[in-house]
Amino acid sequence: MKPRIICDSAERSNGLGRAMRERLPRKPLEWSLLSRRGFFATFTAAALHAQEPKPSLFGDADAYERFMGRWSRVLARTFLDFTDIADDGRILDVGSGTGSLAFAVAEGKARAQVVGIDPSKEYVAYANSKNPFANRASFQTGDAQQMNFPDASFDASISLLVFNYIPDSLKALREVRRVTKPGGRISAAVWDYGAGMRMLRAFWDAAVSLDRTAEKLDQKNMPLCREGELAELWKKGGLENVQERPLDITMRFASFADYWDPFIHGQGSAGAYTRKLDRDRLRILRDEVKRRLSVSAEEAPLALSARAWAVRGTVPARH
């Protein structure tokens, strides 16, 4: 099946979508470029730099770890409690990335076997290289929209910070339901980009205040990041006993540089945006973000709240 390239509503409404599509390279984009690290960033980068050599936006797993992976590990523990899955069985981690959630499962549930799939070969290689649970956790490349696993292969399925980046989230959910046993639980969580994720909210509010073109990249426009949206998707996917709730964590940074520096290493939509700024505009943006966060001194520790929406539901018993 050919991958889909989707314009967001802002691009359609202002007429940019058609022009941007015409400037895209003719070679099809793989879903590995449409995953969590920036569906919107990939689309925009392709449009802005169609005639230029393009660096890999998401090939640096170490940079992703510093930008978002470290917070995935913190959120993973809270999310795992919410899933309320059994301490044993075979668990599928959809969009396993650098391994944060799978490692949390393996550590917290000593009798569980975890299989992680991710479209990024770089992230799969990183997770395998850092895997301390090689006897109970494994990682492989795979597309959540079309998996090679037989029906009812897993006792439960989980997904952290991924579903809002999958081009066809309903198709993916139905595929996850297919490979999960009847009575098994499917759970997922995504960041609340609109209000609850202060780390990114401060960045995008500052960027938009200085550059109105940044509005189309603002992650608040992403699907499934608002209250009720994940639950609605789970119900459309035919799951039962659907429950949704917010998960709150605190992100603690050693200094403002510890907060800011990961933004300039090309990871995600924010990294794609900073990559195109010249030195002066980047400095101005940095100062504006610092002002909005009320940072008193460069070396002062910084604590920011972060909220994710989590959902869980049960695969119906077969009749």
Q: Considering the domain boundaries, does residue 95 fall inside one?
A: yes
Which segments of the chain have a pLDDT < 50?
Answer: 1-58, 319
The predicted pLDDT at position 195 comes to 87
The contacts of residue 184 (CB under 8 Å, 6+ apart) are 154, 155, 156, 157, 314, 315
The pLDDT value given to residue 267: 77
Q: Which domain covers residue 98, as residue numbers?
A: 61-195+222-250+308-314
Q: Which two tokens stand for residue 289?
A: 């973000």
Residue 104 lies in a domain: yes
CA proximity to 233, closest of 315, 313, 162: 313
Give the pLDDT score at 67.
Answer: 81
Percent of the chain with pLDDT over 90: 70
Tell me phi and psi for residue 242, to 5 degrees.
-75, 130
Tell me the CATH number at 97. Answer: 3.40.50.150
In a domain, 303, yes or no: no
pLDDT in tens, 208-263: 999 999 999 999 999 999 999 999 999 999 999 999 999 999 999 999 999 999 99
Q: Residue 59: what pLDDT?
A: 53
- What pLDDT is attached to residue 190? 96
Evaluate whether residue 293 is within a structural domain: no
- DSSP-assigned beta bridge partners for residue 312: 187, 243
In a domain, residue 270? The reply is no
For 284-302, b/e burial (b = at least 16 CB within 10 A) is: ebbebbbeebebeeeeeeb
For the question of whether the overall pTM of this predicted structure is more than 0.85, the answer is no
Question: How many whole angstroms separate alpha carbon 80 and alpha carbon 69?
Answer: 16
Domain membership flag for residue 184: yes
Report the pLDDT value the prediction gives residue 254, as an integer from 0 to 100: 95
Question: What is the pLDDT, as a whole number, of residue 5?
Answer: 33
Residue 128 lies in a domain: yes
Does residue 262 form part of some domain?
no
Q: What is the pLDDT at residue 27?
A: 34
Question: What domain count does the chain have?
Answer: 1
